[in-house]
Amino acid sequence: MSRINLIRRQSNLTKKSYYHSTSISLKPKISVAIVGSGPSACYTAKYLSSTLKQQSKKGLLTGTNIDDLERVDIDIMEKLPIPFGLVRMGVAPDHPEVKNVENDFAQLFAPSDSEKEENIESSIEFFGNVGVGTDVSVEELRSLYDVVVLAYGCESDRKLGIPGEDLEGVYSAREFVSWYNGHPDYVHMGEKFQKVLHDPRNSSVVVVGQGNVALDCARILAKGRDGLNDTDIAKHALEVIGDGVKTTTVLGRRGHVQGAFTIKELRELTKLGDTDFIVEMSELEAGNTEATQAELDGKGARPKIRIDKLLRDAAEKSGSASSKKEKQVKLRFLLNPTEFLAKNSDHTRLGQVRCERTKLEGEPGHQRAVGTGGFEDITADMALVSIGYKGVPLPGMDESNFDFKRGVVKNTHGKVHGVENTFVSGWLKRGPSGIIGTNIVDAKDTVSSIIKDLQNVPEDEIEGRYGLQTLLAKKKVQYVDWDGFLKIDKEEKSKTRLRTDSQPREKFTNIDDMLKCL
Amino acid sequence: MQAIRTKIRPVAAKFRLNPVRHHGGPKISADAPTVQFTFVNPHPSQGKSAADEKLTVTARIGETLLQTAHRHDVDLEGACEGVCACSTCHLIFDEDVFDELEEASEDEEDMLDMAFALTATSRLGCQVKVTEEMEGMEVRLPAATRNFYVDGHIPQPH
């Protein structure tokens, strides 16, 4: 123990302790590594830091006396040189207000406010351009840090597993979203999208899935350049989408009351100026089973009731619409894709999506889509599969701590099964659902597990941040710290890069270009 | 009631990453008329033991409740910075106060649909402005603890 720590520790002995009965000595400094830098990582860092500060002041922490704790270092590892995960790479470019949360997250990394009196010091540092599992292993992190939190989200997706899924023109929504948001790993997809959408105004796209990602894809495809020019959508995406796609059909196997989308995203589709939003009343009625009516009646049904009304209004309007706009977004229900069919002219490329019509069976809240034997083929130059993201394990994980079927880390309230001092939060913990705010409750859940477990942190001195810096230097990994990111951020906003005055930024889509800003 | 030391967050010095394009809430000066009311459960992250904690604050008439909360270090999130694009500033009112509030806009209702632990008297703190009539009221922050999971609450799907 260093001399300073020893002195600090001695001075602690004179502090008045209200919890003689539960005095468990903690080491004076705890080092935490968080893998990933999206909302779940940032909220975990935020609440770990703030809860420890508040608890230490008020002595509310149950079962543990943390008088000894003086400093918490939280290091956030991110594979890309830039932080914030899906806020940057997932949130749609035409939802800039949702990205305001970046300002809140940025406070975490800003120099601490010296005016504040805190019993516990806390510093949060950004380590960008550091791949965990490639540049450093999770075992190395465990040897350097007291606590490791996995918050790297979902880097894969669920597949339909039907014939034709490998045809040219069938892609995952995750690939499409990452591409239009300028993710460096997905720039190469542009060539493929360009090929199948070479004439957007005469093209049809099918989006399979009924969540907000599916609606985002449809909206972006419909809006085109005019609707997106002032956003931070990557330039390469505007070049491909052009003036927008003529017909986009979003479909799923269950009914409109069972959809995973939320009303804000649905309402946006009703307000696209040059695009008709088409809903079939017959499909809404077909899904209106007794069980569905019960779902609309139950506790917490308010969001469903309002979605039901919005879609019925939209269906009535699309039934009576006399004007026909140039583009359309169709929202279809009770259709289960069974096969992707090739074009007659080119058997390597997608031409149609074959769907079986379904009906709902089962109890309220557990209705399943059952095939009816009736089929419909829907023309499609491109299909985006949007039926859920999936987490992938880090090297070294196995069935004991990773649920391969669901793509999540096995955990209890965020504590990873069978691995000491390792935690998980966000999509990797609960699966790919929820909005940014869902991560608040989720992170608090993981943070309370971490705090309850702090007493199990071994007393040994560990190297923490300094150790990581040394290791990265030894491995010749050029990491990007917070100031480095700010330089990249500044360049992205430079007037010379922007197409319009109100565009917030033109993202770098290449890691080398980002590193050149340093 | 437990006395709670309040720290004033240095709003002016707040570090910003993105330009202020949508400003959340009006600027109400410090010498505006004020009322006093009470936040119940001002620090939800401290779990059940703190759920009945109360914090009485002085609020400026005309500002949003989110602004009041932030000036008094109440742990009310405002992820979208008060522009009605998230539901993290969810507050629960008493029925008699709720009935007197200006009606929620369609946008606010849409965001409320995504709020945790929605009640019949829920509103978003960024959309409700402080009025004279709020003198003496109590307004509650929803519990945000692991109990959501224990109770089998399933987060709204994305």
The answer to whether the CB atoms of A441 and B116 lie below 8 A apart is: yes
Chain A: give the shortest CA distance to residue B132, in Å: 30
**The tokens of A266 are what?**
């649905």
d(CA A99, CA A111): 22
pLDDT at A216: 98
Q: Assess if residue B151 is contained within a domain.
A: no
Residue with tokens 């703030």: A50
Q: Is the dihedral of CA A190, A195, A198, A203 positive or negative?
A: negative
Q: Assess if residue B86 is contained within a domain.
A: yes
Q: How many CB atoms lie within 10 A of CB A278?
A: 19
Question: A81-85, B2-6, B144-148: which has the highest mean pLDDT?
Answer: A81-85
Q: Assess if residue B24 is contained within a domain.
A: no
> Cα-atom radius of gyration of chain B, to the nearest Å?
15
Chain B: give the shortest CA distance to residue A115, in Å: 9
The answer to whether residues A422 and A416 touch, using CB atoms and an 8 Å cutoff, is yes
pLDDT at A68: 76
Q: Assess if residue B67 is contained within a domain.
A: yes
**E strand map for A106-155:** 121-127, 147-150
The answer to whether residues A357 and A334 touch, using CB atoms and an 8 Å cutoff, is yes
Q: What are the DSSP calls for A455-486, one per residue?
A: GGS-SS---HHHHHHHHHHHTT---B-HHHHH
The answer to whether residues A287 and A254 touch, using CB atoms and an 8 Å cutoff, is yes
Domain that holds residue B55: 34-144
Work out the average pLDDT over B143-157.
Answer: 44
Structural domains in chain B (count): 1
pLDDT surpassing 80 at residue B1: no
Cα end-to-end distance, chain B, whole Å: 40
- Nearest Cβ partner of B111 from A51, A104, A264? A264
Q: Select the more confidently predicted residue: A112 or B5.
A: A112
pLDDT at A460: 79
Work out the average pLDDT over B119-138.
Answer: 96
pLDDT surpassing 90 at residue B144: no
Domains and CATH numbers, chain A: 28-155+390-480 (3.40.50.720), 159-387 (3.50.50.60), 483-518 (no CATH)
Q: Quick check: helix, strand or coil at residue A38?
A: coil
**The tokens of A439 are what?**
């991560």
d(CA A97, CA A94): 9
Low-confidence residues of chain A: pLDDT under 70: 1-25, 55-67, 112-118, 321-323
Q: What are phi and psi of B39, to 5 degrees?
A: -90, 125
The answer to whether the CB atoms of B21 and A104 lie below 8 A apart is: no
- Nearest Cβ partner of A440 from B46, B77, B113? B77
Q: What are phi and psi of A455, to 5 degrees?
A: -65, -20
Q: Assess if residue B2 is contained within a domain.
A: no
Q: Assess if residue B106 is contained within a domain.
A: yes
Q: Which amino acid is at A339?
A: E
User: Is beta strand A156-157 parallel, antiparallel or unpaired with respect to A170-172?
Assistant: unpaired
pLDDT at A53: 80
- CA angle (B24 as vertex; B23, B27 as ends), nearest 5: 85
The answer to whether residues A318 and A277 touch, using CB atoms and an 8 Å cutoff, is yes
Q: Is the dihedral of CA A162, A281, A263, A216 positive or negative?
A: positive
Kindly provide the ipTM of the predicted complex, given to two decimals.
Answer: 0.86
The answer to whether residues A357 and A376 touch, using CB atoms and an 8 Å cutoff, is yes
The answer to whether the CB atoms of A264 and B110 lie below 8 A apart is: yes
The answer to whether residues A53 and A116 touch, using CB atoms and an 8 Å cutoff, is no
Q: Assess if residue B102 is contained within a domain.
A: yes
The answer to whether residues B94 and B137 touch, using CB atoms and an 8 Å cutoff, is yes
The answer to whether the CB atoms of A435 and B87 lie below 8 A apart is: yes
Q: Which amino acid is at A86?
A: L
Q: Assess if residue B19 is contained within a domain.
A: no
Q: Is the dihedral of CA A100, A103, A104, A105 positive or negative?
A: positive
Please list every residue in chain A whose beta carbon sits closer than 8 Å to the beta carbon of residue B78: 104
CATH value at residue B70: 3.10.20.30
* Residue B157 DSSP one-character state: P
Question: For chain B, how many helices (H) and strands (E)?
Answer: 4, 5
Please list every residue in chain B whose beta carbon sits closer than 8 Å to the beta carbon of residue A62: 49
pLDDT digits over A66-122, tens only? 667 888 999 999 999 999 999 999 999 999 999 999 999 999 998 766 555 667 788
Give the Å distances, CA to CA, from A114 to A49, A60, A337, A385, B23.
16, 25, 59, 50, 27
pLDDT at A481: 97
